[in-house]
A and B are shown apart, each in its own frame.
Chain A
Amino acid sequence: MRNAFAAAVTELGEIHPELVMLAGDIGNRLFDSFKDRHPSRFYNCGVAEANMTGVASGLAASGLRPITYTITPFNTVRCLEQIRLDVCYPNLPVIIVGTGSGLSYAGLGATHHSMEDIAILRTLPNMHVVCPADQTEVKLAVADALRIGRPTYIRLGKKGEPQVHETPPAFTIGRGIPMRAGRDVAILSVGNMLATAMQAADTLEGQGVSTEVVSMHTVKPLDEALLESAFADRKLVVVLEEHALAGGAGSAVLEWGNMRGVDLRKLVCVAGPDRFLSACGSQTQARTEIGLTTADVVTRVTSRLN
């Protein structure tokens, strides 16, 4: 995803002359072509995320469209108050991009895991929270965030994620992308879980469970029409995310459902536990340990249907 992001901003820099990249001392070679094409619009802000976020605020308040980029926990919770006060309070068009989200950096240890970022950032007024599913959605998400022009958090994986979209879909922040239709169960997949969701749907179909899959890339604002429809006539609504259960996308749906008065017994949240993960090795192994595999999704669905 990070390569897709670098390619996207390089291209979008042409049509947005006000786009400015701020990086927190990572992606040295990644942004070489951006730097070549837009030499006055790339700044390595060093390992100083609080300042980087404040600088982004000052740029945005002066007519520019900054994007901050570094590893997710450092670009979110490390500088949370700057995001809250310098970006969200004045409602400035700053895009905050976290790379290596969720368990992308499983092997690097809990310092580099980010299983709380969706929960924390979606509580901030004015903030949009967008989790692209694959490389195709990365580019579309950045383009749409620039179009909208307000505080936006974009949650990226790192590299080598499965490519799910064969052709670029219509993409609007706040509107889910239907991937396959189904009558019994709707799986609302957040970010990089989409390939898992598609495989789980295949398995469930084989067991006679008609399963819809939606790429619910935006956690805030929620796609209310999508949720209305899913809760209206499906037996189960699954929210699948590589994020902790507390405060994540499933939690957001729960809050919405409570206000709306839908039947929340249909909701199945497949998400991570309330603990720091240790010794997890690869992302795949980490997902296995905490119950985020295709088999886990299938089991959670079938056991609830029975």
Chain B
Amino acid sequence: MNDTSDTIRLAAQLRARVVAMSHAAKAAHLASALSCLDILTVLYESVLDIDPARPKWEDRDRFILSKGHAAAALYAMLAHKGFIPASDLDRYGKAGSMLEEHPSPKVPGVEAATGSLGHGLPVGSGMALAARIRQRDYRTFVLMSDGECNEGSVWEACLFAAANKLGNLCAFVDFNKWQATGRSREVLALDPLVDKFRSFGWNVHEIDGHDHAQILNAVAQVSTAQQQPTMVVAHTVKGRGVSFMEDDNNWHYRIPTEEEVERARIELGVQA
């Protein structure tokens, strides 16, 4: 078993940072950012072969945050890794800042323009196919939301990736059971999500999306040598890590007050 205490500590720090960023920018989608932060942290810290000094390095692993509304989580991570200066986070969402509320491809480390849902998996499939054509062994990771699986283009890409045996492609569904206006199981009948992906020809893992060891284990086999793309259905809690936000969909749009930022920081055990 890998020691995950470092990534757990980092995820808490990033959560506190993202809560503060939401307050400062008056930017929504905080709970969506919190739900995927463990997946982001494990991928960036323990999985992705990337080099912040060379964001366009040809052999880098690719990561696409297809649920672009969680941009704050991605920016906090890109700053932690050194793709962008940490001071840029203070200007998130403000005039003149490239850190918009959805990721722009102009930001170093951002692989695709996302924010409109259902774009990341087709684009990621193209990146994975390009690795095969160009005989390179990088891998491509895509992080989607459960609400995003309403989009037909997600399923078009599922067919394409399986048909083309893109074993170097791995997608996550941050399955926090909520979309903007309701339970994702009720808005459209998502369940059984695992069976759906399996029947589309993917190698599917169903995990606790906050358990760092399980996240690591789920992606261990992703490589050009595989014949099937990997889908990780990650059960998560929207607003994870802050008790008064967890599984409360008001925090899809709500902005935390200064006092709530402080309460969240203390709960997360992060130094001021």
Residues of A within 8 A of B (CB): 20, 40-41, 43, 45-46, 48, 50-64, 66, 81-82, 85-86, 89-90
B152 nearest CB neighbor, chain A only: A50
The closest CB in chain A to the CB of B136 belongs to: A62
Query: What would be 5 A-B contacts, judged by CB atoms less than 8 Å apart?
Result: A50-B153, A51-B160, A53-B122, A55-B160, A86-B119
> Do A63 and B125 have beta carbons less than 8 Å apart?
no
A20-B133, A61-B126, A85-B116 are known; give 17 further A-B pairs, CB within 8 A: A43-B164, A45-B160, A46-B159, A50-B122, A51-B153, A51-B160, A52-B122, A55-B126, A58-B123, A58-B124, A58-B128, A58-B129, A61-B112, A63-B130, A82-B153, A89-B113, A90-B113
Note all chain B residues with C-beta closer than 8 A to A85.
Answer: 113, 116, 119
Q: Which residue numbers of B lie inside 8 Å of A, CB to CB?
A: 58, 105, 111-113, 116, 118-119, 121-131, 133-134, 140, 152-153, 156-157, 159-160, 163-164
Which of A20, A54, A56, A64 touches B157 (beta carbons < 8 Å)?
A: A54
- A53 CA to B119 CA, complexed, in Å: 10
Q: Determine if A58 and B152 form an interchain contact, defined as CB atoms under 8 angstroms apart.
A: no
Give B151 Cβ to nearest chain A Cβ, in Å.
Answer: 9
- Number of cross-chain contacts by CB at 8 Å: 100
By the criterion CB–CB under 8 Å, are B134 and A57 in contact? no
Given A40-B133, A50-B156, A62 and B127 touching (CB < 8 A)?
yes
- The 8 A-B pairs at the shortest CB distance, nearest first, are namely A58-B126, A54-B122, A62-B130, A51-B156, A55-B126, A48-B156, A58-B127, A90-B105
Which DSSP category, helix, strand, loop or mixed, fits chain B's interface? helix
Most buried by A among B119, B156, B163: B156
* B127 and A61 within 8 A (CB): yes
Residues of A within 8 A of B140 (CB): 58
Query: Which residue of A has the minimal Cβ distance to B131?
Result: A62
A60 to B112, CA, bound (A): 12
> Does A55 lie within 8 Å of B113, measured CB to CB?
no
B111, A61: Cβ atoms closer than 8 Å: yes
A20 to B160, CA, bound (A): 16
Question: Once the chains bind, are B126 and A54 in contact (CB under 8 Å)?
Answer: yes
Q: A43-B164, A63-B130 given as contacts; is B153 within 8 A of A54 (CB)?
A: yes
User: How close is A50's CB to chain B, nearest CB, in angstroms?
Assistant: 4
Among the listed B105, B124, B133, B160, which residue makes an inter-chain contact with A41, where contact means beta carbons less than 8 Å apart?
Answer: B133
Q: Which residues of A contact B152 (CB under 8 A)?
A: 50
CB distance from B135 to the nearest CB of A (A): 9
- Of all chain B residues, which has the CB nearest A58? B126
Chain A residues, Cβ within 8 Å of B121:
54
**Central interface residue in B119, B122, B124, B153, by most chain A CB within 10 Å:** B122
Which residues of B have CB within 8 Å of A54? Answer: 119, 121-123, 125-126, 153, 157
